[in-house]
Amino acid sequence: MRDINTVEVYYQNQVVGHLKLTTSQQVSFQYDSDWIESGFSISPFSLPLKPEIFIPKNPFTFDGLFGVFADSLSDGWGHLLTDLKLKADGNDVDSCNKLYRFGWIDHNGLGGLEYRPRFNLVKPWTALSLDNLAMESTTLYQKDVCKHLDELFYSSGSCGGAQPKANIFMERALWIVKFPTALHDRINGLMEYQYMQCAQACGINVPPFQLLPSNWCDGYFAVKRFDRKNNQKIHMISLAGLLETSHRIPSLDYLDIFKVIALLTRDIRESEEMYRRMCFNVFAHNRDDHSKNFAFLYDERQNRYTLSPAYDLTYSNSIGGEHATTIDGVGDHPGLNQLLSVAKIVGLNEKWAKQTALDIQQKVLTQLNRWLNHR
């Protein structure tokens, strides 16, 4: 069964709606009537709680999907594993339609949405150590060779992002562990760990994280999944999915993010949180701050969306070495002037904004730059 024309969307065992492949190869969505009565909008700007049939306005941004559903599909690493798994099971990848991939999103899929039909994944008999998973992942990433495809796919086939990683159950919760893409990247886990420590010291909301030991590199960065709470899935949507814009083509400014936060959360504390992250990204040279590296979680108790904890914080560049998201129009070398201009435009207290920026700059200088210069 390589052609699936209808997929049911679930959230916490309740039907949310249905995806259907149109004759133009786009994918329409319609909420279930019971969900309209008792649920919430899974994508507030594109999919309001109405009984109509929704069709994406741009058929190219997410290959004919709405962004919230594109979020569920794996990115570079998981996409590669899925392709290999499909081939290993005798499928012609090119002949599988776009809804077919939703059947391969397992229980570890990102966010809270689930899709049916879902193909049953058999847990491998063997369980590889983190070092073995890392070495297998690196070999596959570099040489397109894999001896333990089932183990890799089961642990990370539904993960997002381009970097090899795996889901592990630790401390009675689900965590994501990242692996190097090459031997010369063996310091990456330690670097991201240091960045998260610094971000935490700057007052930024981060999830629990650890540096796990390794005999192969300087350690594996592990982060507790914030789209799970008490082992229950939480609905999550990326900024890219929310705005129906590809993260691969930089097109946003932080001013756009603040507008979204104001509309979606109506909470000045969320804007202050984003300001801290913006300052950190500028001073710590985290320039891969694209629209998929910001996300929102739905809080059912408060019946509103909130910013997710910060993630993917590390030394990085985007296209041309600039920030993927500009700061008051500046992407190459933004500084304090641009940060304060954004703060003023979005209505943050100017004295607080200046002091916050200077404090974060100082913490980055003392904690991160010292480490980077002596690594």
pLDDT digits (tens, 9 = 90+) for 301-316: 989 999 999 999 999 9
What is the average pLDDT value for the chain, to the nearest integer? 90
Is the pLDDT at 54 greater than 80? The verdict is yes
Note the pLDDT of residue 96. Answer: 78
Residue 4 pLDDT level (bands cut at 50, 70, 90) = confident
Residue 107 pLDDT level (bands cut at 50, 70, 90) = confident
Q: How many CA atoms lie within 13 A of 22 on its CB side?
A: 15
| Per-domain residue ranges of the chain | 6-116, 130-228, 235-373
Using CB atoms within 10 Å of the CB of residue 231, give its burial: 0 to 12 exposed, 13 to 18 middle, 19+ buried: exposed
Is the pLDDT at 1 greater than 70? The verdict is no
**H helix intervals, 6-99:** 33-38, 67-70, 76-88
- Chain centroid to Cα 370, Å, comes to 29
- The residue that leads in pLDDT, 123 or 297, is 297
- Tokens of residue 182, six digits: 């090459």
pLDDT digits (tens, 9 = 90+) for 64-86: 999 999 999 988 788 888 888 88
CATH classification number, 130-228, choose in 3.30.200.120, 3.30.590.10, 3.90.1150.10, 3.40.50.10310:
3.30.200.120
Q: What is the mean pLDDT of residues 181-191?
A: 81
pLDDT digits (tens, 9 = 90+) for 323-342: 999 999 999 999 999 999 99
Q: What is the mean pLDDT of residues 15-29?
A: 92
Structure pTM?
0.94
Please tell me the distance from the alpha carbon of residue 340 to that of residue 351, in angstroms, as a whole number: 10
Q: What is the mean pLDDT of residues 28-52?
A: 97
Report whether 22 contacts 55 (CB < 8 A). Answer: yes
